């Protein structure tokens, strides 16, 4: 079977092949680039395997291509990397690997192409294309990966127990590829993940998070999460999410399954945004529902305060996953805390005051919050969904009108704490905070105009009420 290259890729592949022939190295493109080309996905990363010294091949190719920047060499792994016309090339010598039971770092020795294909994680990633002149473009498919590509199957090239015991990260990669490609994990491979899930304990949080982020960024993240959950992996590294599963019934009253609801929200959001942190907000928006769940005969099931508790959980979850604890974490935390606000406004008369408060609290993240809230509208009752979304559009229009009129986004009250202290001749104290908060609330409620003079006069009156005099 011949492999198809684009015109620019063909030129690059032929030059690599020419250098390989001069070195008398069998040389192949392997892995993701081959897989993606065969299923019409775009790939800018090319992995090149040679039966020889991958670093030497990379250096010679760089010279042939007149690449000025230095080749990145990783002697410990026997690999080298270079960039050419926005394509990242990685070179490595064919190898075979052996693992110890307590580490995913293998003992490596030179090998053949067959050895190298055998160590790959899945059959669809073990495909190779020859670059040598005599066999250029020929596909080497030792494990029938082409059939698995056609059938949409994730399957290991050898005994899955060995594949996953050697490198347990591959179990999460199975979920990731299933999610990215919308494929199914073959049953034997699936059962092996369940049997070997405990091996995940030797994998670092950073490596797990890298794969989890790719699942979250996939076209339909629920596919990957369901593989993780059904195999027992999710319970190991993300127990809070697994605990969303299930429906409890009392007095013939049940609540929605918050696990499946959350996945639907993430999938909904994936259709409209590629923002990883917005998708993380969707993952975590209901994360604290299990500990806040209550039942009473009058109201049925409630989850009061889950948005507050969930926002409090965000930093510890980010810390455990080694995610950034900067503005990205604060963005997710804010959206988790505010995610009920826009929806709640659809159930009541929409006042300018409520809109001002929402704009004030959300600031520049209001559009992201609205996307999350729109994705959060899930129900099997299509009429209910349409009714809520129609009301939701009214809220969005009202927000636009209030923003244009009052300019409340990232607003700060016209009276500062420093001015309050100077006016009344007082030191920093609780009273300063009381007056400042009263000014803010009065403006947000529309009691006081949003300008300096009106706010200053209100400050004087509030100060007098607190027993202060102008100095």
Indicate the domain borders of the chain.
7-147, 417-465
Are 333 and 314 in contact by the 8 Å Cβ rule? The answer is yes
| Cα–Cα–Cα angle for 51, 55, 59, rounded to 5 degrees | 115
The backbone torsions φ and ψ at residue 466, rounded to the nearest 5 degrees and listed phi first, read -90, 5
How many Cβ atoms are within 10 Å of 23's Cβ, its own excluded? 15
Q: Among 287, 300, 184, 305, which Cα is nearest to 251's?
A: 300
Q: Alpha-carbon distance 25 to 130, whole Å?
A: 11
Q: Alpha-carbon distance 174 to 180, whole Å?
A: 10
| Cα–Cα–Cα angle for 303, 304, 305, rounded to 5 degrees | 115
Q: Alpha-carbon distance 350 to 328, whole Å?
A: 30
Q: Alpha-carbon distance 224 to 182, whole Å?
A: 9
**Res 42: pLDDT:** 84
**Quick one: tokens of 382?**
């299509």
Are 229 and 245 in contact by the 8 Å Cβ rule? The answer is yes
Q: Alpha-carbon distance 61 to 67, whole Å?
A: 9
- Is residue 273 classed exposed, middle or buried when 0-12, 13-18 and 19+ CB atoms within 10 A define those classes? middle
DSSP tag of 2: B
Alpha-carbon distance values, 393 to 244, 361, 374 (Å) = 29, 20, 9
Q: Alpha-carbon distance 99 to 114, whole Å?
A: 18
**Quick one: tokens of 372?**
């999350």
**Res 125: pLDDT:** 95
**Quick one: tokens of 280?**
């993380």
Q: Alpha-carbon distance 100 to 464, whole Å?
A: 76
Instruction: Give the pTM.
Output: 0.85
**Res 110: pLDDT:** 76
CA 228 to chain centre: 15
Blockwise average pLDDT, block size 10, the chain, 471 residues: 80 95 96 92 91 94 90 88 92 75 61 87 96 94 95 96 92 97 97 95 94 98 98 97 90 86 96 97 97 87 92 97 96 96 71 78 88 85 74 76 67 83 88 87 82 86 85 75
**Res 8: pLDDT:** 84
Q: Alpha-carbon distance 423 to 446, whole Å?
A: 24
DSSP tag of 365: G
Pick the CATH number of 7-147 from 3.30.460.10, 1.20.140.160, 3.40.50.1970, 3.40.50.300: 3.30.460.10
Q: Alpha-carbon distance 341 to 46, whole Å?
A: 47
**Exposure pattern of 292-305 as b/e (b: 16+ CB <10 Å)?**
beeeeeeeebebee
| Cα–Cα–Cα angle for 299, 302, 303, rounded to 5 degrees | 165
């Amino acid at each position: 079977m011949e492999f198809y290259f684009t015109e620019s890729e063909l030129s690059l592949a032929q030059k690599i092949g020419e250098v390989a022939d001069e070195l008398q190295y069998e040389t192949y493109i392997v892995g993701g680039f081959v897989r993606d080309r065969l299923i019409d996905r775009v790939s800018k990363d090319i992995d090149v395997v040679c039966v020889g010294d991958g670093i030497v091949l990379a250096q010679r190719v760089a010279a042939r291509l007149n690449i000025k920047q230095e080749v990145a060499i990783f002697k410990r792994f026997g690999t080298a990397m270079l960039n050419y016309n926005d394509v990242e090339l990685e070179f490595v010598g064919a190898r075979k690997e052996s693992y110890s039971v307590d580490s995913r770092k293998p003992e490596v020795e030179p090998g053949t192409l067959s050895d190298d294909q055998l160590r790959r994680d899945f059959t669809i990633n073990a495909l190779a294309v020859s670059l040598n002149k005599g066999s250029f473009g020929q596909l080497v498919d030792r494990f029938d990966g082409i059939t698995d590509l056609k059938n949409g199957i994730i399957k290991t090239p050898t005994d899955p127990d060995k594949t996953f015991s050697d490198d347990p990260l591959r179990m999460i990669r199975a979920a990731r590829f299933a999610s990215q490609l919308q494929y199914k994990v073959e049953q034997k491979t699936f059962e092996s993940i369940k049997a070997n899930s405990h091996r995940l304990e030797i994998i670092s949080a950073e490596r797990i998070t890298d794969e989890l982020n790719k699942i979250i960024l996939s076209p339909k993240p629920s596919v990957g999460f369901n593989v993780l959950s059904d195999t027992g992996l999710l319970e190991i590294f993300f127990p809070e999410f697994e605990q969303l599963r299930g429906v409890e019934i009392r007095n013939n009253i049940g609540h929605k399954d918050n696990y499946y609801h959350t996945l639907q929200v993430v999938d909904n959001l994936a259709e409209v945004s590629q923002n990883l942190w917005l998708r993380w907000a969707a993952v975590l928006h209901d994360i604290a529902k299990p500990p806040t769940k209550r039942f009473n005969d009058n109201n049925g099931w409630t989850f009061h305060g889950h948005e507050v508790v969930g926002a409090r959980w965000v930093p510890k979850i980010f810390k455990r996953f080694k995610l950034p604890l900067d503005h990205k974490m604060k963005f997710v935390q804010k959206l988790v805390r505010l995610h009920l606000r826009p929806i709640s406004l659809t159930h009541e008369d929409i006042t300018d005051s409520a809109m001002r408060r929402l704009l004030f609290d959300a600031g520049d993240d209001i559009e992201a919050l609205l996307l999350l809230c729109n994705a959060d509208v899930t129900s099997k009752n299509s009429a209910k969904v349409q009714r809520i979304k129609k009301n939701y559009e009214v809220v969005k229009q009202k927000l636009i009108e209030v923003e244009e009129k009052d300019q409340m986004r990232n607003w700060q009250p016209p009276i500062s704490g420093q001015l309050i202290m100077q006016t009344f001749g007082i030191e920093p104290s609780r009273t300063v905070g009381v007056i400042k908060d009263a000014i803010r609330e009065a403006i947000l409620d529309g009691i006081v105009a949003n300008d300096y003079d009106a706010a200053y006069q209100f400050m004087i009156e509030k100060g007098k009420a607190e027993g202060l005099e102008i100095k």
